[in-house]
Amino acid sequence: MHEMSLMGGVFEVIERTLSQHEVKKVLQVKLKVGELTNAEPEALHMAFEAYSQDTVCEGAELIVERVPVLGYCSNCHYEFNIKTMIFLCPQCGNPKIEVIQGEELLIESLEVE
């Protein structure tokens, strides 16, 4: 379950961020998770619970926002949603597609008290 290692990285960022502020409790963590990370929201929630035990994040709400895969064609400059693992431009058939969205794992916000 690679979600545990992903959440380990998330908690490193959370701890680094919180060390710069006086925080009593984290109420909510909002993540943006690209579909190409292959991270399952349910597994992320389980990993979050495990990492948050005995920390200021314990009991916080985790919100996972899925980010669809978006491609860009270098030939015809068309932006499109990629729905399959076949990365071809639907407009011109070009196989040289740049993934411009869908690989991210970002902490969008932390709600704290």
Q: What is the CA radius of gyration of the chain?
A: 17
- Read off the pLDDT of residues 26-68 as tens digits, 9 standing for 90 and up: 999 999 999 999 999 999 999 999 999 999 999 999 999 999 9
Q: What is the mean pLDDT of residues 101-112?
A: 97
Helix (H) or strand (E) holding 53: none
Whole-number Å distance between alpha carbons of 74 and 53 = 46
Q: Band of the pLDDT at 85, cuts 50, 70, 90?
A: confident
3-state secondary structure of 103: coil
Buried b / exposed e across 61-86, counting CB within 10 Å, b at 16+? ebebeebebbbbbeeeeeeeebeeee
pLDDT exceeds 90 at position 1: no
